[in-house]
Amino acid sequence: MAKGLMNEFSANDLNLQEFFTCCRRHGLKITPQRTEVYKILLGSADHPSAETVYQRAREILPNISLDTVNRTLATLVRIGAAFMVEGCGDVKRFDADMRNHQHFKCVSCKRIIDFSYKPFENVEVPAELSRRFKVLRAMVYVEGLCEACQASENQ
Ligand SMILES: [Zn+2]
Ligand SMILES: [Zn+2]
């Protein structure tokens, strides 16, 4: 599985316990499907699409359907256990790393790479915006070409 620049952790007990608490707080049953989808997302540093999560989940739960994965991902986003990655075109991509971090997206191969940069961590949201909307997160998003894609462009 691809690793991000700062993402060296995998699904651990602490995250799982927090997830179970989060489910209970929202009155959700802890099902094997929910647990597995969450664990896969938590252990994936590549910000997978629903389809990719589905492929990985099938290795553990052969009977899981893409529909279940889609619904579970939507639930994770709703309860704040994951979020949808911005600016990724038509295929939704997901992230369960709720720690403060930023994204670099390669516009060519669509890789989404995590990075951490202190000055970007406390992005100020205009007061007008936070008055009108319930702001869930503010991230800095950088796009361009990754090393591999630059190399192939220069050939
Ligand atoms: Zn690339
Ligand atoms: Zn991320």
Same CATH topology for 13-84 and 98-153? no
**CATH class in words for 13-84:** mainly alpha
State the ligand closest to the CA atom of 137. 2
Tokens linked to 25: 């707080």
State the ligand closest to the CA atom of 146. 1
DSSP β-ladder status, 141-144 and 102-106: parallel
Whole-model pTM above 0.85?
Answer: no
Rounded Cα gap, residues 38 and 82, in angstroms: 8
Distance in Å, CA 40 to ligand 2 centroid: 14
**Alpha-carbon distances of 85 from 12, 15, 48, 88, 95, rounded to whole Å:** 22, 20, 10, 7, 7
Distance in Å, CA 114 to ligand 2 centroid: 5
Rounded Cα gap, residues 75 and 66, in angstroms: 14
Distance in Å, CA 154 to ligand 1 centroid: 13
Instruction: Please count the CA atoms within 13 angstroms of the CA of 11 that sit on its side-chain side.
Output: 17
The counts of H helices and E strands in the chain are 6, 5
Distance in Å, CA 55 to ligand 1 centroid: 22
Domain boundaries of the chain, sorted by first residue: 13-84, 98-153
Distance in Å, CA 54 to ligand 2 centroid: 19
Look up residue 125 and give its DSSP letter: P
139 touches 123 (CB < 8 A): yes
98-153 domain in CATH 3.10.20.30? Answer: no
Q: What string of pLDDT tens digits covers the 155 residues of the chain?
A: 344 444 434 445 668 898 999 999 999 999 999 999 999 999 998 999 999 999 999 999 999 999 999 999 999 998 989 988 876 566 889 999 888 889 998 988 989 999 999 888 888 889 999 999 988 878 888 988 999 999 988 77
